[in-house]
Amino acid sequence: MSLEHRELGQSGISVSCVGLGTVKFGRNQEVKYPSNFALPSDEEIVSLIDQAKSLGINLLDTAPAYGSSEQRLGRLLSDRKDWVICTKVGEEFVTGKSFYDFSASHVRKSVERSLLNLNTDYLDLVLIHSDGNDVAIIESTDCLEALSKLKECGLIRAIGMSTTSIEGGQKAVDLTDAVMVTYNPACSKDEAVIDHALANRKGVLIKKALNSGHDCEGGVEKNFDFSLNHPGVTSIIFGTISSAHLEANVQTAIKVLA
């Protein structure tokens, strides 16, 4: 069996039901994984991307806050048209620390930089990288307006938000094409956001389905089954720089959907 692909809401974008997160391609400082790791070489990244493609993955998730991830993808990705690239705006990671800027001017500069870094003339999906104050970002900044204008200009195919609250997630569903939420058996509060997205035919990406590499009760299969088989979920994003881990997760996704 092959890896299932699903429509990202009404965006017209089809994505694999699991996507490859690339924070480990470019950043190993101030991350919340259970063990330290060295950044992979260019050769290792190329091999992992080729493997992901051969397994049926077409979704790559990156962000300016992921260190050199965007730059490395832009330099090493040879078949851009075959990939759906999701990146973000709002969070920056400089000299080992994060800071946030949701102003329209910063959003425009961030998108222009991402286009340059990723060596592309369009971005498939751009998410607001929330600092935890979802509602305030939506209601009190011009971040979303700026993204909408960039979408109208054709630089972005779809926009959304990576949220932390139910209220913020539901507002993002109402105003954008997709949301990214945390959803696993140990943290299921965002189910209300997923259900709202389903009712409104919007896309849903899942972050931390495997609890960021920490112990997850019941193991990978239980967590994948919990997320992938919930109506409304489009795709799970998981990060890895391990070929074996990548293969195992894809096979688990195929198994739970069989």
Q: Measure the CA–CA gap between 77 and 241, rounded to whole angstroms.
A: 16
Kindly report the CATH number assigned to the domain that includes residue 217: 3.20.20.100
| pLDDT of the residue at 31 | 85
This prediction has a pTM of: 0.96
Residue 64, domain extent: 5-257
> Mind listing the pLDDT tens digit of every residue in the chain (258 residues)?
899 999 999 999 999 999 999 999 999 998 877 788 999 999 999 999 999 999 999 999 999 999 999 999 999 999 999 999 999 999 999 988 999 999 999 999 999 999 999 999 999 999 999 999 999 999 999 999 999 999 999 999 999 999 999 999 999 999 999 999 999 999 999 999 999 999 999 999 999 998 765 556 668 999 999 999 999 999 999 999 999 999 999 999 999 999
- Please state the domain count of the chain: 1
Catalytic residues: 66
Length of the chain: 258
Q: What is the pLDDT of residue 217?
A: 60
